[in-house]
Amino acid sequence: MSNERTRILVVDDEEIVRESLGGWLEKDGYTVAVCPDGASAIARIKGERWAILIVDLKMPGMDGLQVLEEAKRLQPELAVVIMTAYATVDTAVAAMKAGAYDYLVKPFDPEELSIMMQKIVSQQTLVRENTVLRQALKQEYRFRDLLSKSPAMQSIFELAKTAARSNSTILVLGESGSGKEVLARAIHSESPRAGGPFVAVSCAALTESLLESELFGHERGSFTGAVARRKGKFEMAHGGTLFLDEVGDIGPKLQLDLLRVLEERRFHRVGGNDPIEVDVRIIAATNRDLRKATAEGKFREDLFYRLNVIPILIPPLRQRREDVPLLVENFVERLAVEMKKRLDGVSADAMSALMAHDWPGNVRELRNVLERGAVVASGAVIQLGDLGLPAKADALPRAGTLASLEEVEKRHVAAVLGHTGGNVSQSARILGIDRVTLYNKMRKYGIRRDGEQDPESGDDPRASR
Amino acid sequence: MEPIFVWWIGEEEADPELMEHVRLHLARAFDRPTARWHGAARPRHAFDARRKQHASGAILRWLLERGPAKGTVLGVTDRDLFIPILTYVFGEAQLGGRAAVVSTARLIEEVELVGPELLVERLAKEAVHEMGHVFGLVHCDTPGCVMGRSPAVREVDEKDAELCAECKARLEPSEGE
């Protein structure tokens, strides 16, 4: 029976109404539960999923409209029918404005009730079918862990799939958080090397000498602290793919070493004499303008051309806003699984704000914002306030108020940290300063990693010296 | 197997032919023994002066108290029935219980034009429908099935007097108990 799984919650303070309506609906094949007041109804809506809520308008405590508003906040797709003893235009208008599906005047005609329930069920069936179709469509928009329906990204997926079949070096360009490593992993998985290792190295994280031994390994005793022979990332990636992240940040000596490996496909461990041959596919990535760095003499031109065999530029999220709803849906689904929490999505105003945001931290920032929202959300729907998105005006002092340069800097640093979910490296990059400088500013202004004021130090005048 | 008792509880004189028809239909639909139940008492306390209708819930409770101690019972009345939330009902039943009631009051619509056999047919359908609820059946979407929704006489006339194969199959497990 098609109605078997349709769940209806009946809320009325009169027992006789709960009993007669509940009984009638049960015989109609619905799963029915009844609640005597608004508060217990909200508790049941928080804990379980309902298709239809039939609620009395006039009840002591929470009235029908309040239940309606709270229920819609918790489960936007819930069809709410308001029951009223006397139909007045005012109550009908108020109910419909608050998002009610319809209203019924007590006592109601059995035919009216029957038709209304069937209409709701068939509409909800259509919505479900639509969801299934959208899921199928999402597969079309997917390249491994990447998801996009923008034409620019679709052609990147095509290029990446083709490039994956070759052994050529790929240079992935894109802003921080745009998914460069995710793309590199997707290419690896799609390539004939998928069975081999995928090894990722962040070139910006280490000093030049540490990075050298990290990449090439070292022989025992080759430097102080080299107590044992150690394999480098190049050797570890043998037969697979080596992902060199932030390749634009490496120093001149390593640039030369890297150029040699790319040319000869062999290298020496630090302190070693015997050349080691490797079969490695290189995918490099950077958020820097390597061509400009080459022109300025900061990056070797010959290395640039060695890396720039197949360049793939990932557009920033703000240039493909049409992907935001798709990504939100995807992340919310994943967060629900990871957090073992019921999450149905984001509210309409939250979605508008997400669409309007500029996303300097790109997809990673979007994920961080949603993760925060998922943690903070009290119901199954993430509300605008849960996201902690700074209002547009927050980073800037309001027009007409005069703030000192320090005050503006303090607010901006806090706002950027808030945007990146407390990611200091990413925030430093956005601010165009190094991490040490950012840490100093955070200490100076008493700002925590989450962008909030640290109550311990924020108001201490010594801290701002 | 416990019998189904059919009891006329209307205010007018019982129509023996009509009651016999109902009994035979129930016997065929549920494949159980059926019998008429006779009692002079009437559920007059169920009358609601404000609505000028009888409360079907009160009648169900009364049938359990005053009717047969064993088996199931269908009260048949000529009084108009209601449940508090609805303007009227053709009948009501305890889902998976022992009692049901069905009324001719609203089934007589257009009977004068078409002939008395129309009422016989409608009453038999609603009797089987309400007793179907007593035996645990809920509304059915199979076209023509007597367990289909029938909030108005139009739907009553459109459906058959029989249970569909699926509803029949759903009845069987309880019969084996």
Is the pLDDT score of A58 beyond 60? Answer: yes
SS3 A153: helix
A81 plus A121 within the same structural domain? yes
In a domain, B153, yes or no: no
Express each pLDDT in A247-288 by its tens digit. 998 989 899 989 998 888 888 888 888 888 889 999 999 998
Q: What is the mean pLDDT of chain B?
A: 92
Is the pLDDT score of A54 beyond 60? Answer: yes
Q: Which of residues 293-332 of A touch B (CB under 8 A)?
A: none
* Mean pLDDT for the stretch of residues B108-115: 84
A332 plus A377 within the same structural domain? yes
| Helix (H) or strand (E) segment spanning residue A256 | helix A252-264
A162 plus A311 within the same structural domain? yes
Distance CA(A54)–CA(A228), nearest Å, equals 73
- The CA distance from B31 to the nearest CA of chain A, in Å, is 22
A109 plus A47 within the same structural domain? yes
* Mean pLDDT for the stretch of residues B136-161: 92
Distance CA(A155)–CA(A188), nearest Å, equals 18
In a domain, A143, yes or no: no
In a domain, B154, yes or no: no
Distance CA(B105)–CA(A248), nearest Å, equals 88
How many structural domains is chain A composed of? 4
Check CB contact under 8 Å for A108 and B86: yes
A107 closest CB neighbour out of B84, B133, B140: B84
Check CB contact under 8 Å for A106 and B85: yes
- The CA distance from A422 to the nearest CA of chain B, in Å, is 56
Distance CA(B157)–CA(B154), nearest Å, equals 5
Residues contacting residue A23 through CB under 8 Å, at least 6 positions apart? B83, B92, B95
Q: Look at residue A458 in the predicted model and tell me its pLDDT.
A: 40
Q: Give the confidence band of B61 by pLDDT, cuts at 50, 70, 90.
A: very high
B151 closest CB neighbour out of A17, A19, A114: A114
Distance CA(A45)–CA(A87), nearest Å, equals 26
In a domain, B150, yes or no: no
- The CA distance from B132 to the nearest CA of chain A, in Å, is 10
A107 closest CB neighbour out of B85, B95, B139: B85
Rounded percentage of chain B residues whose pLDDT exceeds 70? 97
Q: Look at residue A463 in the predicted model and tell me its pLDDT.
A: 36
Q: Which domain holds residue B131?
A: 4-137
Contact, B58 vs B84, CB < 8 A?
A: no
In a domain, A394, yes or no: no
Q: Look at residue A370 in the predicted model and tell me its pLDDT.
A: 95
Contact, B27 vs B71, CB < 8 A?
A: no
**Residue A202 φ then ψ, to 5°:** -95, 110
Q: Which domain holds residue A345?
A: 318-387
* Mean pLDDT for the stretch of residues A197-217: 87
Q: Look at residue A402 in the predicted model and tell me its pLDDT.
A: 60
A123 plus A171 within the same structural domain? no
Check CB contact under 8 Å for B95 and A20: no
Higher pLDDT, A379 or A456: A379
Q: Look at residue A435 in the predicted model and tell me its pLDDT.
A: 85
Distance CA(B130)–CA(B150), nearest Å, equals 11
B151 vs A: CB within 8 A: yes
ipTM of the complex, rounded to two decimals: 0.84
Contact, A78 vs A52, CB < 8 A?
A: yes
Distance CA(A267)–CA(A277), nearest Å, equals 7
Is the pLDDT score of A455 beyond 80? Answer: no
Higher pLDDT, A342 or B172: A342
Q: What is the mean pLDDT of chain A?
A: 86
A175 plus A303 within the same structural domain? yes
Phi-psi region of A85 (alpha: psi -120 to 50; beta: other; left: phi over 0): alpha
Instruction: Give the closest residue to A440 by CA, choosing from A403, A396, A407, A410.
Output: A410
A254 plus A300 within the same structural domain? yes
* Mean pLDDT for the stretch of residues A291-295: 92
In a domain, B149, yes or no: no
In a domain, A44, yes or no: yes
How many structural domains is chain B composed of? 1
Q: Choose, out of B85, B126, B134, B155, the residue to mutate when testing the contact with A (most A CBs < 10 Å).
A: B85
B165 vs A: CB within 8 A: no
In a domain, A396, yes or no: no
* Mean pLDDT for the stretch of residues A189-211: 88
Q: Which of residues 92-131 of A touch B (CB under 8 A)?
A: 106-111, 113-115
Question: Measured between beta carbons, which residues in chain B are less than 8 angstroms from residue A20?
Answer: 57, 83-86
A287 plus A340 within the same structural domain? no
Instruction: Establish whether B155 is a catalytic residue.
Output: no
B95 closest CB neighbour out of A19, A20, A27: A27
| Helix (H) or strand (E) segment spanning residue A280 | none
Determine which one of B65, B130, B166, B172 is catalytic.
B130
Q: Look at residue B173 in the predicted model and tell me its pLDDT.
A: 58
CATH number assigned to the domain comprising residue A373: 1.10.8.60
CATH number assigned to the domain comprising residue B59: 3.40.390.10
In our burial notation (b when 16+ CB lie closer than 10 A, e otherwise), range B15-27 reads beebbebbbebbb
Higher pLDDT, B177 or B163: B163
Q: Which two tokens stand for residue A142?
A: 């997917």
Name the strands in the sheet holding A7-11, side by side, starting at the edge strand that comes first in the sequence.
A31-35, A7-11, A52-56, A79-84, A102-105
Contact, A12 vs A36, CB < 8 A?
A: yes
Residue A398 DSSP code: P
In a domain, A444, yes or no: yes
* Mean pLDDT for the stretch of residues B9-33: 94
Check CB contact under 8 Å for A2 and B141: yes
Is the pLDDT score of A244 beyond 90? Answer: yes
The β-bridge partners of A288 are none
SS3 A262: helix
Alpha helices in chain B (DSSP H): 16-30, 56-66, 111-114, 116-134, 153-158, 165-176
Residue B88 DSSP code: -
Contact, A324 vs A317, CB < 8 A?
A: yes
Q: Look at residue A39 in the predicted model and tell me its pLDDT.
A: 95
A221 plus A343 within the same structural domain? no
Least confident of A156-165, A337-346, B28-37: A337-346
Q: Which two tokens stand for residue A184?
A: 């590199």
In a domain, A428, yes or no: yes
CATH number assigned to the domain comprising residue A414: 1.10.10
- The CA distance from A53 to the nearest CA of chain B, in Å, is 16
Express each pLDDT in A388-429 by its tens digit. 887 654 444 444 456 678 778 888 888 888 888 788 888 888
Question: What's the alpha-carbon Rg for chain B, to the nearest Å?
Answer: 15
Q: Which two tokens stand for residue A60?
A: 């002591």
A29 vs B: CB within 8 A: yes
Express each pLDDT in A306-352 by its tens digit. 999 999 999 999 999 999 999 999 999 989 988 888 888 999 889 99
Check CB contact under 8 Å for B141 and A1: yes
Query: If you count residue pairs, one on A and one on B, with CB atoms under 8 Å apart, how many are there?
Result: 65
A194 plus A306 within the same structural domain? yes
In a domain, B161, yes or no: no
A2 vs B: CB within 8 A: yes
Contact, A152 vs A314, CB < 8 A?
A: no
Q: Choose, out of A20, A34, A104, A118, the residue to mutate when testing the contact with B (most B CBs < 10 Å).
A: A20
Q: What is the DSSP string of A87-135?
A: --HHHHHHHHHTT-SEEEESSB-HHHHHHHHHHHHHHHHHHHHHHHHHH
Q: Look at residue A462 in the predicted model and tell me its pLDDT.
A: 38
Contact, A37 vs A55, CB < 8 A?
A: no
Is this structure's pTM higher than 0.95?
no
* Mean pLDDT for the stretch of residues A121-132: 86
CA B75 to chain centre: 7
B57 closest CB neighbour out of A20, A109, A113: A20
